[in-house]
Each structure stands twice: as C-alpha cells, then as structure tokens.
Amino acid sequence: MEQIKRYGMLEISMPRTAQEMDVIPEAVFTLNGERVSVRGFSENENLGRVRFMPMKEGIWQYEMKWGTEKKTGSFECVAAACHGPVRTEDCHFCYDDGTRYIPVGTTCYAWVHQLPEVIEDTIKTLGTAPYNKIRMCIFPKSMPYNQNDPDFYPFERRDNGWDVRKPDPRYWDHLDRCLKALEEMEIEADIILFHPYDRWGFAAMLLEDNLVYLDYAVRRLAAYHHVWWALSNEYEVVFEKKIEDWDAFGEFIAGNDPYHHLISAHNGIVPYPKRTWLTHVSYQGSDPKDAYYLRKEYHLPVIVDELGYEGNIEADWGNLSGFEFMNRVWTVTAFGCYGAHGETFHRDDEVLWWAKGGRLYGQATERMRFLREFLESLPGPMEPFCDDIIRDPNGMAEGHPFLQALLNVNSEQVMQTFLRRWTQPVGIHPDYKLYYLGRSASCRMKLNLPENGDYKVEVIDMWEMTRSMVVSGVHGEILVGLPAKEGIAVLIIRLSGDALNA
Amino acid sequence: MEQIKRYGMLEISMPRTAQEMDVIPEAVFTLNGERVSVRGFSENENLGRVRFMPMKEGIWQYEMKWGTEKKTGSFECVAAACHGPVRTEDCHFCYDDGTRYIPVGTTCYAWVHQLPEVIEDTIKTLGTAPYNKIRMCIFPKSMPYNQNDPDFYPFERRDNGWDVRKPDPRYWDHLDRCLKALEEMEIEADIILFHPYDRWGFAAMLLEDNLVYLDYAVRRLAAYHHVWWALSNEYEVVFEKKIEDWDAFGEFIAGNDPYHHLISAHNGIVPYPKRTWLTHVSYQGSDPKDAYYLRKEYHLPVIVDELGYEGNIEADWGNLSGFEFMNRVWTVTAFGCYGAHGETFHRDDEVLWWAKGGRLYGQATERMRFLREFLESLPGPMEPFCDDIIRDPNGMAEGHPFLQALLNVNSEQVMQTFLRRWTQPVGIHPDYKLYYLGRSASCRMKLNLPENGDYKVEVIDMWEMTRSMVVSGVHGEILVGLPAKEGIAVLIIRLSGDALNA
C-alpha cells in the first residue's frame, strides 16, 4: 500500500475522456468515519488530478470522480516528516502539530518568473539563508528593475486577454517544482495572488475570472502544507479592484481551502480592515510602532513584511542601511510582532533579490540569522509590555514630570501623539523580558526586577551579533552597565521566583 | 567725552540717599530728537544704576533721576564692534545691523551656578566651540546630575521663601561677569527665566513676585545686546504656573524691554501657543518633522533647542549617538529650521555639559562646526521645499502608485499621517537646493534640474565632514552617484539660469 507521510501530498489521477473536459475532478477521503471532500484540477493534458494532504495517520480510503467515471483506492498515512501547515495561536504562530513557528521571512516577488540559472541561484541562496518564509507572486511583475517577460504565463492567451479557464500547464508545473524546492528547505510559501505591478492585464481581470483563477489555485496548491494565501501585494494600489472584490477573494478561499491555510491581505498604505477570514496582518509601513498598534487593534499576529528593504536604490522603501533595517526588525520583534527581510542593492544586471532572487549581498541576512537563533533560544513568544506610559519601560516613569504634564493636556490628539512617541519596544514572557533600546546609546540602565526571585541579565548587540551575560542571581532594583551604542537589547531571564510578565 | 560703541552698554549711576530706597532710578536718553526712556536698578549698595544700549551713533544726552535727585550728562556713540541684538526676519534671524545670524546653539542650563573652576572650564570650552548661542537659567537647577547648591541665589531669603525685592548683588554681579564672557565670545545668551527643576521655591513664587523679578531682570540685563528672553524651560512642566501666567510674563517683557530682545517659551510636550509677543519657537521634540510643521503653523523661526542630546545617560532625551543627534540637526536644517546642541555623557563627577558646562566629550561638536561653516558658505537661508507630496523631493512622485492610492483614502487622519511620513527635508533658495537624505543609503539619485541654466552638484557627508563636487555645468534630468551610506546631503548650486526655488 502506498505510504504518504502526514502533511505530505498524495496525488491521484484519472485519464480524461471527452465529456469530462469542463468538469472538475473530485475525491472524498475517509479515515475512521472522518470524511474530507477535495476538488482537483485538469489541464490540456490527459489527466484529471486530485491532491490531498492527510492531516491524520492511518489507512485512508478514497473515491475519486471525474464526471461519470469513478476510481477508488487507499493509502497509509504514516508519521510526518514536517510539522504541517502553519496556524495562528493568539498573536503568534505554530505549526499544525503544535510546534512553534517563528516567521523569519524574506521577499522575492518574481523569482519563479526568472531564467533557470537565476532560479537555481535563488534556491542555492535560500538553502543557506536563515529565512523560513518567502513572499512570491503567481503573476509576473512589471516595474523598475523588473522589465523582463517570463517564459510562461499562468493562462493561455485569448484575443483580448487571458483565458483563465485554460491554465498553462508549463507554468503550473514549473510553479510546482519551485514550491517543492521550498518545501525541501522548510520555507513557507507566502503566495501573493494579486499585485499592482502589471503590464499584461492580470491586475485588471474581471471578478468572475479572478474567482475562476483563485479556484484553480486553491484546487492545485492547497495540498502543499507550506502554502500561505497572500491575497495581495498592496491591495489599495491595485486600482482595478474594490474592497468588495478583496473580501470576495478572502471569503472564497476561506470557504474552499480544505486545509485552512493562513490568509492575509498586504497593504500599500492603509492596513486591510479586520475580517473573519483574515488570519494575520501582513503589513507594509516604515514606522515599526505601527506593528504594536496593529497588534493591539486586530489582536492577530502581525508580520511587517515591508518595513523597508536593505539596499541602495533610489526609492525610500529600498535604501535602508543594514543597521537601520535590523533596527526596525528588532523594534517590531520586541513589540511581540515579526519583521521580514528584503534586499534591494542596485545591480546593472537588474537581478535584485527583492524581485528576482539570485544572491544576497547585504549585511542584514547574517543578523536575521542571529535574530532567529536568539528567538529560538527563548522559551516562548513575547507579548508587548508597554500598554501605557504609566508602565514606562525605561524605568523613567517614576517622578517623570513629563508624564504629569501630559495628563494635563486637553487635546486627545496631542495625548495620543506623545503616548505613541513614548511607546517603547519591550517584550515580556513569564520567563523573560526583552528591552530593545534602538538608537538609544545609554551607558547604563536601571532595572526594577521583582524582589521575589533570582534573575539573570544579558546584553545583546544586534549588529555585532554578541550576547553576553552581565549579571546573574540578582533581584530588585539594579543598575546594569551598557555599551553606550546603538542596537543594544537587554534580556532579563528568570532563574527562579516571580514571573516577569506580572 | 565718554565713548560707547553702538550696541555697547553705557552704565550711569548715582549715589543713593535714604528716601530713594524703594524708588527705581530712571533715565531719558536723547539723540536728534529721539527719546529713549530706560529704568535702572539698585541693590543693597550705595548706587542707583541705569544701563543703556545705544542703537544709533552720535552724541547722546541723558538725564538720570532717582527719586528727587537728578543728574545729566552726555556720551558719544561710535561705530559698533558687534552686530547688535538678534532680530527675526521672516522665519530666520539677523542681527540688528542686518547681518545674517545663523543660530548654532548649545545648552548649559546651570553653568553660572557652578564652582569657579567649572565656570572657567566652560568659558574656555565655549571659546573654541562652534556655538553662538547658549541656553542658561537664572535659577539654579535640581534634578539628577544637578544636586549641588549654588554659592549665591538671585534674591535674599525671607522667612518662608525669597524676598524678590531684595536681589542679591553677589549673584547678579556674577551673572554680569558670565554674560560679559559670552559677549566677548560672540555667544548669544538665551536666558531662561523660569524652569521646573526646582527644590528652592523659585518655580512656585506668586505671580506678583514673578513680575517683580522679571522687572528687575529686564532693567538690569536688557542693555546687553546679546540677551534673549526664554520665558521657560518646559513651561507645562512648571505645574505652579498657568498659561495666563506665562502670557503675563511675555506681555510684561514685550512691553518693558526697550530693545525688544527676542522672546520665546520653550515646551516640554506641547508647543507654546502662538502669541504676538512670541518672536520665535524654541521647541523640544524628538521628531525633526515637528519643526517643519511648527514653522508652517507659526510662520516664525523655529529652533529645536532640544531634539535630544548627544550622550549616554539613562533618559531617552540624553542618550543619542553623535550620529543620530547630527542626523536630527541636519533634518531640521533642511526644513529651514535650526537644531541646537546639548551633551549628556555620564560622569562620576556629575559635570555634564548640558547642565553644568565644563568640557565637551562628544563627536557632535565638530560636526556642528562643519554644519555652521556649511551654512555660512551658503548665500542665504533656505525655505522648506516639501509643501506637499505632489512635489515629491525624491523625484519618485512621477508614476508613484502610492500617491494615487493615497488620494483614494477617505480618512483625513490616515492622509495626514502619510503625508507627514513622506515629508522630506529639502531646503530651497534661488541659488541652491539642499536635500538631506538622512538614513537613506542610496547609491544614486535622479535630479530634475531646470532646463534653462547651469548647475553644480555637491555631495556632503555630514558625519565625515566632507563636501565634494560631483558634477558641474549640468541641467535637466541627471542621475548622480551617491556613496550609499547614511548622513548624506546633496547640494545643487545655481551657476546661471533659472532659480532653484521656482
């Protein structure tokens, strides 16, 4: 009997007959009375195919139907080799098997649309890079540094556009190979379904065609455990679509994906409104404090997929120094959110990582690895500490005259502006507390540890990638020395006694 | 005949007699029919004194009165050795004689209250530093790093406080010596009249006593050409005073200072409201963009006297790296405003420049000198270019999809947030245009120069303090190479043809 690992993909197929041309193949999978209905796909080929991701071990039975034809079979689902699809858990993530997932993402929008040698480079680079999620588009991209046409498109052309009912198998088979390469590297594929940077007409398709396309994408791709659905890159910049369209896409996918993969809608300016189908926030914005406020408002995990990219091109979103990029990522991190990577160093050959993949040239990637290892070393995810300025994370609230002055201010707007300005990135967990000090270059810091317990203090230099113990076995009010430079984090670890998130 | 230089100080005096104890000495100065009435002061000494700053050359006559006694005399006002009091001119400054004044200030709040050797150090440091303005308090200061009592206080003590009608001549004579030292170094004395960091009761005096004190300060100090009146340090943090009190102070000084020195009211959080007596904005705020918006709202010169200090102490206002400090100063500068210096490096002897003076240890001072020399090399002050995003200073507006997306946004708040986020520091003048690129690290920049003219482009590295010509004799759209690092400014200079502020 065929064996499929839990969270792996079974593909079953049936030969096509003439009358089944416009009918979608389907299958029902059963295990111990549990029943999963799955729809498949066909192309201009001789096979109807159904893909299935078993979530439970055991002997599964199935019945496949394509029009009037039927086929039955069984397979054994054996122990998993991976952790399964990523789910949300409060404002964080974990895999389906409960293992924690810490997103350390990157972006290569159009990597699948490049020449084979560039794709090979991308896969090689990803193989040694620290990234475990990649944002990538189904449709090719047209904007500065993205002028090349791909070899294949998702659909066959028709007179005035695209025939979404005729997927081009060359494109989708190629996409399958790319997705399998990512799967092998344990990289989540955050698949962007629509985006604005288009000269071929994909952004301007009719709603009905969009739904036909989404239906195909779900039937074909949902059985990959590592797929995420990113409805958009910059939804408001896709001027051909209204919010009702995006909502229709989100509802369609949430209702049709048998595995309930994550669904996001990435913004250009204004965060996508909260919706029941929205599983997390994929945000673009240059101010890391936005992440804190989004998390508070949405009570969903927040990934800042674009807080600016490390690079040196003309555009302000693509010319951050490595330091500034990492500074933003650490800020977002200490707010209990997640920052993602992108790289845009000018090259005459126009192969920039953010769009085409290829190779990485910046200083951020090694720092993202350090951050990932740091986060993995912690006993669990952190929550933002700074709900209000009264709980001043710098220990400066005590006798702080500005605080008192702020309370006398009559303008709600001024109040909000300054509360925001004073909101500091401090993350807490019962067993640890992380202060990220950003561009502050203090030589010392007063810490108010609980009196009842013993604690250890470490100083992290996010840029030099060092982590050093400063003092251990302390409690109460202590003064710790700091290196008086930018990019410093202070980590308090509980050895015993009171929790640090009290 | 006694000769006094224009803008210099004449001091005339009369011996005291018993019945004149509570009467204020006065004098009238006349020149060619012009009449200036001036009030003087006396202390627990044998003299009534009147100080006078002649603004015009010629033979002045005067008549001094103290109670029933009179005295007449004359002096010759000869050519000035300085440029006179600083005035405002639109959103900038010039001296009374029309010479441009570019404020490059620093802060030593309590330097006059320190031990003689520290004061000597301060004067020596100021003698070689680039600063041409200093913020300094009349009253001593009480807060962390400021725990020492001064030798003298401005007034004699009485049972439950201070007898403002009895100034202590030891204090005021000492202050005179300090002011004269500043005058010799051509440093404007931005005298802070009230502040919140007080343990002696100066912040809590009654309104009537405050006005008696201000009256004395004006009568005694106004004849110094280099005096500015700073009503407050952090007006809203002086909880004993209401806005009506501050208004009374401003109106009183504006009505009583014969020379109309500059008057400001420095904030902790909320900018002081616009008033007719307010000559310029002395602002505290960590976001350099505040300066741009204040300038636009007040249409007055804006000096950000506190955008954070270079240093390493615990407080967030006192632990900026030299780079971040200078980054804020250059940002403010390219908005057509002025940023001022302060330094707070922790020292065990607690002699920190920002409060006590002494010596400078940071990296910002040399960069402030470079900035000052740079600004002095320009043909005149700059105005902010970026009135709206449509005039995108980065040349990215053209075909910028975000712009279009922003125009579709219905929320005024979101619109304002993003317009603010996109507001870039670019200063213009007919003969030059200055882009400060801040933390952007671009390798190149597209410039749209006028077609009709010839222009030169220079690249300035504000941190390395270099200024290099990139290209000369160009016009129209050009692409210039940049060093792809933070802290870069691009200066376009008009050689001929169309003005750059068109």
Contact flag A446-B314 (C-beta cutoff 8 Å): yes
Name the residue of chain B whose CA is nearest to A327's CA: B439
Closest listed residue to residue B144, CA positions, set B22, B318, B7 = B318
Q: Any CB–CB contact under 8 A between A394 and chain B?
A: yes
Specify which residues A230 forms β-bridges with: A192, A264
Contact flag B405-A237 (C-beta cutoff 8 Å): yes
Q: How far is A461 from chain B (nearest CA, A)?
A: 15
Contacts of residue A239 in chain B, CB cutoff 8 Å?
A: 401, 404-405, 408
Condensed to tens digits (0 to 9), the pLDDT of residues A281-340 reads 999 999 999 999 999 999 999 999 999 999 999 988 999 999 999 999 999 999 999 999
Give the nearest partner residue to A441 out of B321, B408, B443, using CB atoms. Answer: B321
How far from B214 is each of A99, B165, B249, CA to CA, in Å?
Answer: 69, 11, 8
Dihedral sign of CA atoms B361, B366, B369, B371 in order: negative
The answer to whether residue A20 scores a pLDDT higher than 70 is no
Q: Is B120 exposed, middle or buried, given 0-12, 13-18 or 19+ CB atoms closer than 10 A?
A: middle
Element (H, E) at A436: strand A432-436
The answer to whether residue B292 scores a pLDDT higher than 90 is yes
Q: Any CB–CB contact under 8 A between A320 and chain B?
A: yes
Q: How far is A235 from chain B (nearest CA, A)?
A: 9
Predicted pLDDT at A21: 63
**Secondary structure (DSSP) of A380-428:** S--EE--SSGGG-TTS--TT-HHHHHHHT---HHHHHHHHHHH---EEE
**Of the given ranges (A34-43, A115-124, B117-126), which has the lowest mean pLDDT?**
A34-43
Query: What is the bridge-based pairing of β-strands B10-15 and A47-52?
Result: unpaired
> Taking a contact as any Cβ pair under 8 Å apart, which residues of chain B between 241 and 280 contact chain A?
268-270
Contact flag B485-A321 (C-beta cutoff 8 Å): yes
If you average pLDDT over every residue of chain A, what do you get?
Answer: 94
**Secondary structure (DSSP) of A207-252:** HHHHHHHHHHHHHHHTTSTTEEEEEESSGGG-TT--HHHHHHHHHH
Contacts of residue A400 in chain B, CB cutoff 8 Å?
A: none
The answer to whether residue B245 scores a pLDDT higher than 80 is yes
Q: What is the mean pLDDT of residues B334-355?
A: 97
Q: Is B401 left (phi over 0), alpha (psi -120 to 50) or beta?
A: alpha
How many Cα atoms sit within 13 Å of B412 on the Cβ side?
Answer: 0
DSSP 3-state of B247: helix
CA–CA gap between residue A380 and residue A428 (Å, rounded): 10
Condensed to tens digits (0 to 9), the pLDDT of residues B166-218 reads 999 999 999 999 999 999 999 999 999 999 999 999 999 999 999 999 999 99
Q: Any CB–CB contact under 8 A between A350 and chain B?
A: no
> Taking a contact as any Cβ pair under 8 Å apart, which residues of chain B between 122 and 141 contact chain A?
none
The answer to whether residue A45 scores a pLDDT higher than 80 is no
- Band (pLDDT 50/70/90 cuts) for residue B229 is very high
Dihedral sign of CA atoms A117, A123, A125, A131 in order: positive
Predicted pLDDT at A273: 96
| Contact (Cβ atoms closer than 8 angstroms) between residue B369 and residue B377 | no
Predicted pLDDT at A396: 45
DSSP 3-state of B306: strand
CA–CA gap between residue A289 and residue B55 (Å, rounded): 53
Share of chain B above pLDDT 70, in %: 96
- Band (pLDDT 50/70/90 cuts) for residue A391 is very low
Query: What is the bridge-based pairing of β-strands A92-95 and A100-101?
Result: antiparallel
Q: What is the mean pLDDT of residues A207-232?
A: 98
Predicted pLDDT at B395: 47
Specify which residues A19 forms β-bridges with: none
The torsion angles phi and psi of B323, rounded to 5 degrees, stand at -65, -50
Predicted pLDDT at B77: 98
Contacts of residue B406 in chain A, CB cutoff 8 Å?
A: 269
pTM (predicted TM-score): 0.95
How many CB atoms within 10 Å of residue A68?
A: 9
Which stretches of A83-140 are assigned E, i.e. beta strand?
86-89, 92-95, 100-101, 105-107, 133-137
Q: Is B276 exposed, middle or buried, given 0-12, 13-18 or 19+ CB atoms closer than 10 A?
A: exposed
CA–CA gap between residue B344 and residue B353 (Å, rounded): 6
Contacts of residue B321 in chain A, CB cutoff 8 Å?
A: 439, 441, 485-486
Predicted pLDDT at B44: 62
B49, amino acid identity: R
- Band (pLDDT 50/70/90 cuts) for residue A422 is confident
Q: How many CB pairs under 8 A join A and B?
A: 134
How many CB atoms within 10 Å of residue A407?
A: 10
CA–CA gap between residue A36 and residue A56 (Å, rounded): 11
The answer to whether residue B22 scores a pLDDT higher than 80 is no
Q: How far is A493 from chain B (nearest CA, A)?
A: 21
Predicted pLDDT at B319: 95
The answer to whether residue B390 scores a pLDDT higher than 60 is no
Predicted pLDDT at B494: 98
Contact flag B440-A411 (C-beta cutoff 8 Å): no
Predicted pLDDT at B20: 60
Predicted pLDDT at A44: 62
Name the residue of chain B whose CA is nearest to A315's CA: B396
DSSP 3-state of B462: coil
Condensed to tens digits (0 to 9), the pLDDT of residues A461-500 reads 999 999 999 999 999 999 999 999 999 999 999 999 999 9
Residue of B442, B445, B485 to mutate for A, most A C-beta atoms under 10 A: B442
For chain A, domains (ranges, CATH) are 3-78 (2.60.40.10), 86-377 (3.20.20.80), 430-497 (2.60.40.3950)
Contact flag B315-A445 (C-beta cutoff 8 Å): no
The torsion angles phi and psi of A145, rounded to 5 degrees, stand at 70, 5
Contact flag A321-B269 (C-beta cutoff 8 Å): no
Predicted pLDDT at B399: 62
Predicted pLDDT at A413: 82
Q: How far is A430 from chain B (nearest CA, A)?
A: 25
Q: Any CB–CB contact under 8 A between A410 and chain B?
A: no
Which positions ≥6 away from A36 have C-beta within 8 Å? A28, A29, A30, A52, A258
CA–CA gap between residue B325 and residue B319 (Å, rounded): 9
How far is C-alpha B325 from the chain's CA centre?
17
Condensed to tens digits (0 to 9), the pLDDT of residues A331-379 reads 999 999 999 999 999 999 999 999 999 999 999 999 999 999 999 999 9
Q: Any CB–CB contact under 8 A between B478 and chain A?
A: no
CA–CA gap between residue B445 and residue B481 (Å, rounded): 7
Specify which residues B446 forms β-bridges with: B479
CA–CA gap between residue B367 and residue B152 (Å, rounded): 36
Give the nearest partner residue to B268 out of A312, A323, A405, using CB atoms. Answer: A405
Contacts of residue B234 in chain A, CB cutoff 8 Å?
A: 401-402, 405
